[in-house]
Structure 1
């Protein structure tokens, strides 16, 4: 399955997402900060999906999206934002800057698994 980088400043969210996606066979890599996430993306070209919190200390969500798009050379790389933000202007700005999907917290594991599956589509090469 896919290598997925999950970035959130909440250890509880990281644990929930890791457990949900690893139960589906995915290799889940976690990070507490945007800066650390960028380093992991540079070091591991096998990452196919980023799941990013939008509101974290340090690097802003929009800048993390922009920097990720500069770093990742894989055209199949997808980016899902997982956030409490539900304002249409914030969501549309993130999508305009490179996010592929937006999911609002709180979420349940089934919703998350479904969203990840939809992002990968029928790409069997993962």
Structure 2
């Protein structure tokens, strides 16, 4: 069994980071928990919460492509699912014919994660919680 427990977070790439941050925070009521500038990628990353629950990673990238065929395109970047055991989850997906990328470690959190795709190539993530 795959063992998905919940949606972990939603990552969104904004064409205008400040405008999107204002929209999510000032209009929709999210709170900015943390904001990091990643110089190597010339990118902002804001962690947004709703009612104290972390839900959205808001990103900026210089001139992201408009089409959603690239992983760094404007709009939904990926949908992440929290799992208890990422190795078991990857094995389960492999048994179903779904390939996962090699498991990586998030340098900010130290947690393990991987990506795979849905039938339309929407990037999906497994994040070991």
TM-score, structure 2 normalization: 0.29
Higher helix share: 1
Higher strand share: 2
Larger radius of gyration: 2
